[in-house]
Amino acid sequence: MIGSATRLCPPRVTSTSLGRYSWGASIGGHTVHQRCARQKEGGDGGAGLAHLLCREGGQWAANANVSQCGYTSKVRNTYT
């Protein structure tokens, strides 16, 4: 049961060159996981996961961790 003091993060969508991810409402203080939109090339063949932290106060972290995911677009950011 969720108490009245429990903070919830609202549903959110994040999008990068590593995929578009829909995150449902989540309980504060928990990290939500889902399979990558595309697996990273040269990976070990395991299922890569995207992660997003719902902070205890009910706010999502600024960015999802998609470091285990592969590019879903041929267009990438480059830095010089």
DSSP state for residue 62 in the 8-state scheme: S
Residue 47 or 43, more confident: 47
Residue 78 has pLDDT above 70, yes or no: no
What are the domain boundaries of the chain?
Answer: 29-72
| Alpha carbons 62 and 43: distance in angstroms, whole number | 26
Task: Tell me the mean pLDDT in the region 36-53.
Answer: 83
What is the secondary structure of 20-41 as a DSSP string? EEEE--EETTEEEEEE-SSBPT
Nearest-angstrom CA–CA distance, 18 and 36: 8
